[in-house]
Structure 1
Amino acid sequence: MNRARLRYPATIGLLTLIAFGARAVSLDAQPLWRDEVDALRFATVPWAEMLASFTRPGWNGPLYYMLLRGWVALTGTSEYAMRFFSLAFGVLCVPLIYALGRRLFNRQAGFLTALLLTTSPYLTWYGQEVKMYTLLPALALLAIYGLRRAVEEGDWYWWTAQVVATSLACYVHILAALLIPMQVLLYFTWWPQARNRWRGALLSLACLTLPYLPLFDWQAPLLLQERATGFPSYTLGEMVETLLNSWSLGMTGWGWPWGAVLVGSLAAWGLASPPPSLPGPPARTGERRERLALI
């Protein structure tokens, strides 16, 4: 293997170490806050009560708390030990997103996405919190990577990986169900290559929907009910501005539009511009549709 081929793996290894350091350096700088204390409480309730949350309307799945229960039994309940569980999954996202970016586009795209994830204020924040918000993106990345490999190669184990990762994500957080329509959209953006994989795609979709019909029956009544969340309400525009500002400027950027303008301009430029001329195979048909679906 020549130096050029070693450069990107070495760089991703370095980014992974940087991500680890950025999250580990102040992991126990603050005491546990309310949600983290709740996570510990949910992880240590009797098994019968924990398993009952599988069918409790409005609750996230119990998988994260089941895993945290085992982790706490091994490492204890200090701030550093419990938050390290989230840190590990957050750091794992760096090589995962590189692998996905490389598979979908090229090494340069994989490196750029890994760099953005390494320096993301949001993922650094959640990598230091006893919550499921790093396990969830790790599973989502695995699911999309498995789907892409399944469409490319058609092997049953990639379809299995996609179904298992998506299913686990659904039992980590209720909103992971949005992964299913997103994967359907991605499947069609990979047309006509995906055309020959329709049997695997239909079987995958059946595995991802049929077992959850009872859960939908339990959760559906909540869609028609109003209930207090404990948080102030925001308009869609306020949500977008807050998310873009916080993503680009950090939590202190709230209220200032410059981060939203910067990120929005870069996104528009990236979507409108043609793919760059890079060494290697030519760009695939439908690559712009693929970028739109991922955005």
Structure 2
Amino acid sequence: MASVAVPRSQRRIELRAPDAVLAAVTLIALLALSAYVRTRAISGSFWMDEGLSVGIASHPLMDIPGVLREDGSPPLYYMGLHLWMQAFGRTETAVHWFSLLFSLLTIPGAMWAGWSLWGKRAGFIGATLCALNPFLTSYGEEARMYSLMGLLALLATACFLHAFVYRRGRRWIVLFGIFQALMLYTHNWGIFYGLGAFAALLLLWWRSDERKPLAIDGLIGFGIPAVLFLPWLPTLLFQAGHTAAPWGRAPRFGAPIQISRDLMGGDRASIVMLLCGGFGLAQVLQARKQKRDPERLSIWVLIAIPFVTLAIAWILSQITPAWVSRYFAVALAPLLLLTALGLARARWLGVAALAVLVMFWINPRPFVDGYKSNVRDIGAEAGSQMRPGDLVVVGQPEQTPLAWYYLPAGLRYADTAGPVDDPRHMDWVDAMDRYEAAQPRDVLPPLLDALEPGQKVLLMRPLTEGVENWSAPWTQLARRRSAQFGAILQEQSGPGGTFRQITVAPQFYRGASTVGNVGILYEKVRDTPMTQAP
């Protein structure tokens, strides 16, 4: 790339005393505001994915990578959560704070990124966007890795711009490589982000007059994560061949609307960002500057990274569905940085647009669900009547860790494929084939026969209303098997039957939950072996 004179003010953050005070006061205010907004549901109930997180993280630290071989995820988040739970406990509030911490850290991260790249106005705008962005609000109160991915993508993208657009030295190349490696160890969509970043580097290389030095730097920047990821590569290859997502569906052409609503909190906010931010970006692109001006190149990089990332994910999801809006965390950071640059260059129009976005985003209720699942209520009502050795049968297998979390200790667990030795995680290895092959009349009777009179069995079935949520191959199977297991137990609880129904939980619904279940508790009243049906 041709050498471009970069003003000294753009090479580093030069904090004069007034700027330092203003930055500190602004950060404190934004952190306080964000923490307030993002703790409205901090003690809300877990849902099944969060149950998986806590269950996996409850294993011994060095056993977690082996457990994840059957899950399909990388280990960094779970190992970090394990250490966090050892220090702060595993209540809903304590675990949610682990994710909230990463959401809050995006605020100073965005201020540093915007200020160091494009000036203090961009820094303040970027910090404000991250303080209230609905995606970071939502996943700042969920025990999953998506707020961590958002933070790592922010740091990786900023370091990419410092390293390859502004050409500020090898330290930024190394930092980019390290952050990208951390993304790869946090979620598999880090691979798609890496491909998006590589496409952006190719764009820079094509426009550069110094292609050889840029190619060498690129080799270093992308070689670091490749080398660091090698120890996990055999596990990833096994997961790719055996732990697909049968609960997913191939995305369609409404994906841009889904991205708008799930990343930016709705069409209104997206339109404001597109129009006002786009106006500012157009000002940069139309200005009479050198063809290879860093700000111009920054725009194209920040467009290329999320576009290529999501395009690759969309295309591959046509073959093996893996398109879920929570995975979009990898694309959020470059989009927010692009918006920060656009609003900063739009001047007072950008400030007005930012104020409008704050009004759209400051109310967390549309974006945060404090009642994600009613398994906590089932555990409180039915669990109080159960004793060690009683049996829990889970109709939707991936909810078993959630049941383990909310039900008393000492219970035995099974799902629609049979006994579950370790209810703290879900074994996704060839899951669709295994669960389709397991026939209810072969699985359930031996489990029930093993109970002694006086022991209880809790059947936890998902509430499967809504065709849209239950049309994938996996969810269709869970719905069918749950009904079949329920029918068998109902047969055995009639007059003269082996079981009697004690209660149905929850008796009282506190509100509509995102993932609903019903728990039906039975007690064995006589030791009569069940007759195998043909």
Instruction: Normalising by structure 2, report the TM-score.
Output: 0.46
**CA shift for structure 1 position 136:** 1.0
* Aligned CA distance change for structure 1 residues 271 and 128 (closer, same or farther; 3 Å): same
**CA shift for structure 1 position 92:** 0.3
Deviates more, 1:208-217 or 1:76-85: 208-217
C-alpha distance in 1 between matches for 2:270 and 2:156 = 29
Deviates more, 1:9-18 or 1:30-39: 9-18
Aligned residue number for residue 208 of structure 1: 225
Verify: 1:175 aligned to 2:185, yes or no.
Answer: no
1:242 maps to amino acid: Q
The CA deviation string for residues 22-59 of structure 1, in whole angstroms up to 9 with x for no partner, is 2134311x211111111101111355652125655x71
Aligned residue number for residue 279 of structure 2: 269
Verify: 1:162 aligned to 2:176, yes or no.
Answer: yes
Aligned residue number for residue 61 of structure 1: 74
Aligned residue number for residue 73 of structure 1: 86
1:36 maps to amino acid: E
Report which of the two has the higher share of strand: 2
* Aligned CA distance change for structure 1 residues 208 and 86 (closer, same or farther; 3 Å): same
Verify: 1:82 aligned to 2:86, yes or no.
Answer: no
Q: Is the 8 A contact 1:170 1:177 kept in 2?
A: yes
The CA deviation string for residues 223-256 of structure 1, in whole angstroms up to 9 with x for no partner, is xx98522x5554232x3213313444x4xx5xxx
* Aligned CA distance change for structure 1 residues 9 and 193 (closer, same or farther; 3 Å): farther
Q: Is the 8 A contact 1:275 1:283 kept in 2?
A: no
SS in 1 for 2:189: helix
The CA deviation string for residues 173-195 of structure 1, in whole angstroms up to 9 with x for no partner, is 00011232333344454864975
The CA deviation string for residues 247-282 of structure 1, in whole angstroms up to 9 with x for no partner, is 44x4xx5xxx555544443454344333799xxxx9
1:38 maps to amino acid: L
C-alpha distance in 1 between matches for 2:214 and 2:157 = 15
Verify: 1:285 aligned to 2:293, yes or no.
Answer: yes
Aligned residue number for residue 374 of structure 2: none
Verify: 1:101 aligned to 2:118, yes or no.
Answer: no
Alignment of structure 1 residues 1-295 onto 2, 5 Å? 1-4=16-19, 6-28=21-43, 30-47=44-61, 49-52=63-66, 59-151=72-164, 152-155=167-170, 157-187=171-201, 188-189=203-204, 192=208, 196-210=213-227, 211-212=229-230, 214=234, 217-218=237-238, 221=241, 228-229=246-247, 231=248, 234-237=251-254, 239-248=255-264, 250=265, 258=268, 260-274=270-284, 285-295=293-303
* Aligned CA distance change for structure 1 residues 53 and 201 (closer, same or farther; 3 Å): farther
C-alpha distance in 1 between matches for 2:263 and 2:192 = 21
> Please, which runs of 5 or more residues in structure 1 have no aligned partner?
none
**CA shift for structure 1 position 138:** 1.4
* Aligned CA distance change for structure 1 residues 148 and 240 (closer, same or farther; 3 Å): closer
Q: Is the 8 A contact 1:186 1:290 kept in 2?
A: no
Q: Is the 8 A contact 1:189 1:286 kept in 2?
A: no
Deviates more, 1:128-137 or 1:103-112: 103-112
C-alpha distance in 2 between matches for 1:76 and 1:261 = 42
C-alpha distance in 1 between matches for 2:150 and 2:125 = 17
Deviates more, 1:135-144 or 1:239-248: 239-248
Q: Is the 8 A contact 1:180 1:208 kept in 2?
A: no
SS in 2 for 1:134: helix
Q: Is the 8 A contact 2:174 2:224 kept in 1?
A: no
Aligned length: 279
1:205 maps to amino acid: F
Q: Is the 8 A contact 1:42 1:50 kept in 2?
A: yes
C-alpha distance in 2 between matches for 1:73 and 1:108 = 41
The CA deviation string for residues 64-96 of structure 1, in whole angstroms up to 9 with x for no partner, is 111101111111111111100111111001110
* Aligned CA distance change for structure 1 residues 259 and 35 (closer, same or farther; 3 Å): same
* Aligned CA distance change for structure 1 residues 240 and 197 (closer, same or farther; 3 Å): closer
C-alpha distance in 2 between matches for 1:103 and 1:194 = 24
Report which of the two has the higher share of helix: 1
* Aligned CA distance change for structure 1 residues 214 and 270 (closer, same or farther; 3 Å): farther
RMSD: 3.3
> Taking every aligned residue pair, what percent have the same amino acid on both sides?
25
Deviates more, 1:101-110 or 1:77-86: 101-110
1:292 maps to amino acid: W
C-alpha distance in 2 between matches for 1:193 and 1:100 = 26
**CA shift for structure 1 position 168:** 1.3
* Aligned CA distance change for structure 1 residues 159 and 274 (closer, same or farther; 3 Å): closer
C-alpha distance in 1 between matches for 2:133 and 2:79 = 27
* Aligned CA distance change for structure 1 residues 219 and 226 (closer, same or farther; 3 Å): closer
**CA shift for structure 1 position 163:** 1.8
> Please, which runs of 5 or more residues in structure 2 have no aligned partner?
1-15, 304-534
2:179 maps to amino acid: A
2:113 maps to amino acid: L
